[in-house]
């Protein structure tokens, strides 16, 4: 499965690049990731639960990078869902913003895991990546992922559609949401 998405962020390329290059930042805006831990100069350990029907962990390494311009990575070892990705940072014509172009490739295995991933991404899988980039933009331009009463949990907004009503959360909901 090949996914591409792009957005423009009103920050200079070095800043956008630096945020992404600190891979531990990825889960703040990528819906399917729970955690990324840096394990070396170019290596990292990733974990995800949502798309795969169960907790999955894998190692990854950066295979190519050009500071402020490009990062390319791939999973290593026995990943249950082998995957790779490239992100490019291109100065926008306005002279202040940066275009972020992302391409991800998932090698879908057969069996339950493959099915779970396919179901998670649904009929228009690029939309999830679009949403990830919208949140990246929110974080870099405003400081955090924007929440509303109908979509109070940030990363979970789309999967909750139709959402809870646009009315303030009760204490019980806040407790439950914080756990989920």
Partner 1 sequence: MRANTWAGRNKVEVRDVPDPRILNSRDAIVRITSTAICGSDLHLVDGYVPTMQDGDVLGHEFMGEVIEVGPGVARDRLSVGDRVVVPFPIACGACAACAAELYSCCENTNPNAGIAEKMFGHPVAGIFGYSHLTGGYAGGQAQYARVPFADVNPLRIESDLTDEQVLFLSDILPTGYMGAEMCDIQPTDVVAVWGAGPVGQFAMDSARVLGAARVIAIDKEPYRLRMAEQAGHTPVNFEEVDVRSALLELTGGRGPDKCIDAVGMEATHGSAHIAAYDRLKQAVRSETDRPHALRQAITSCRSGGVVSVIGVYGGLLDKFPAGAWMNRSLTLRTGQCHVQRYMKPLLARIERGEIDPTRIITHTLPLDEADRGFEIFKNKEEDCEKVVLKP
Binding site for partner 1 (CB under 8 A): 8, 10, 94, 97, 127, 130-131, 134, 137-138, 141-144, 146-152, 154, 157-158, 161-171, 174
DSSP assignment of 11-57 equals: S-HHHHHHHHHSGGGGGGT-TTEEEEEE-SSSEEEEEE-GGGSS-EE
| First-residue to last-residue Cα distance in the chain | 28
Q: What angle do CA 15, 17, 23 make, to 5 degrees?
A: 115
- Choose between 44 and 137: whose C-beta lies nearer to partner 1: 137
CB 71 within 8 A of CB 22: no
Helix, strand or coil, per DSSP, at residue 45: strand
Q: Tell the smallest beta-carbon distance from residue 127 to partner 1 (Å).
A: 6
- Choose between 7 and 44: whose C-beta lies nearer to partner 1: 7
- Choose between 10 and 119: whose C-beta lies nearer to partner 1: 10
- Choose between 79 and 120: whose C-beta lies nearer to partner 1: 120
Q: Tell the smallest beta-carbon distance from residue 116 to partner 1 (Å).
A: 21
Q: Tell the smallest beta-carbon distance from residue 139 to partner 1 (Å).
A: 10
Q: Tell the smallest beta-carbon distance from residue 124 to partner 1 (Å).
A: 9
- Choose between 17 and 131: whose C-beta lies nearer to partner 1: 131
Q: Which two tokens stand for residue 70?
A: 């490009």
Q: Tell the smallest beta-carbon distance from residue 47 to partner 1 (Å).
A: 25
Helix, strand or coil, per DSSP, at residue 30: coil
């Amino acid at each position: 499965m090949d996914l591409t998405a792009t957005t423009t962020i009103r920050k200079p390329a070095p800043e956008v690049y630096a945020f992404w290059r600190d891979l531990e930042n990825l889960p703040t805006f990528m819906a399917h990731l729970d955690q990324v831990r840096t394990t070396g100069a170019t290596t990292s350990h990733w974990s995800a639960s949502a798309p795969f029907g169960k907790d999955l962990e894998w190692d990854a390494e950066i295979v190519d990078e050009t500071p402020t311009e490009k990062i390319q990575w791939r999973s290593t070892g026995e990943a249950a869902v082998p995957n790779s990705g490239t992100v490019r940072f291109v100065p926008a014509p306005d002279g202040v913003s940066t275009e972020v172009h992302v391409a991800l490739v998932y090698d879908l295995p057969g069996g339950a895991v493959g099915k779970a991933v396919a179901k998670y991404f649904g009929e228009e899988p690029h939309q999830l990546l679009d949403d990830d980039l919208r949140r990246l933009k929110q974080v870099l331009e405003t400081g955090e992922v924007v929440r509303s009463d109908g979509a109070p949990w940030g990363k979970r907004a789309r999967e909750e559609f139709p959402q809870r009503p646009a009315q303030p959360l009760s204490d019980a909901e806040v407790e439950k949401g914080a756990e989920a």
